[in-house]
Amino acid sequence: MIKIYGIKNCDTMKKARLFLTEHQLAHQFIDYRVDGLDAALINHFCQQLDWQLLLNTRGTTFRTLPDEAKANLDQEKAIALMLAQPAIIKRPVLDIDGQLHLGFSQDQYQQLFKSAV
């Protein structure tokens, strides 16, 4: 089963979930705000995805953080920020049989699911 991680009110998440639904791809949506998030999951993400890509530095949540919270970031500090502010995680994180993919574009998903589309 495909798992898609994110937050429900994110426009990119809505597009990704719509793509999966329209292509009749069974999936489970995990909402960080509703279902929770723990260090084990973020560490799992960081094993396959670069934490610097996983940390959404372009979003409003990151930009509104105090400068001291953004200074000298390393993986440990980034994980702590992601736990405290789940909206700071780039979305969606897609888990296809244990293989993680980050973000959404029509082309990316068509390539990932080429046998189904």
Within-domain flag for 23? yes
* CATH number of the domain bearing residue 53: 3.40.30.10
Residue 99 pLDDT class (50, 70, 90 cuts)? very high
DSSP string, 36-48: ---HHHHHHHHHH
Task: Count the domains in the chain.
Answer: 1
Calculate the dihedral angle through the C-alpha atoms of 71, 93, 8, 24, rounding to the nearest 10 degrees.
Answer: 170
- C-alpha 98/C-alpha 26 separation (Å) is 15
pLDDT value at residue 115:
74
Summarize the chain as % helix, strand, coil (round to 5).
50, 15, 35
Give the structural domain span for 107.
2-112
10 annotated active-site: yes
Cα separation values, 85 from 38, 54, 68, 80, Å: 12, 13, 15, 9
pLDDT at 116: 67
Whether pLDDT at 117 is above 70:
no
Locus of tokens 């999966």: 20
Is 117 among the domain residues?
no
For residues 98-106, average pLDDT = 97
Q: Can you tell me the distance from the alpha carbon of 62 to that of 70, in angstroms, rounded to the nearest whole number?
A: 8
Residue-wise pLDDT for 24-41, tens only, equals 999 999 999 999 999 999
Domain assignment present for residue 70? The answer is: yes
> Does 43 reside within a domain?
yes
Give 40-96 pLDDT, tens digit per residue.
999 999 999 999 999 999 999 999 999 999 999 999 999 999 999 999 999 999 999
Buried/exposed 1-14: b ≥16 CB within 10 Å, e otherwise:
eebbbbbeebeebe
The catalytic position among 2, 7, 10, 25 is 10
Establish if 81 belongs to a structural domain.
yes
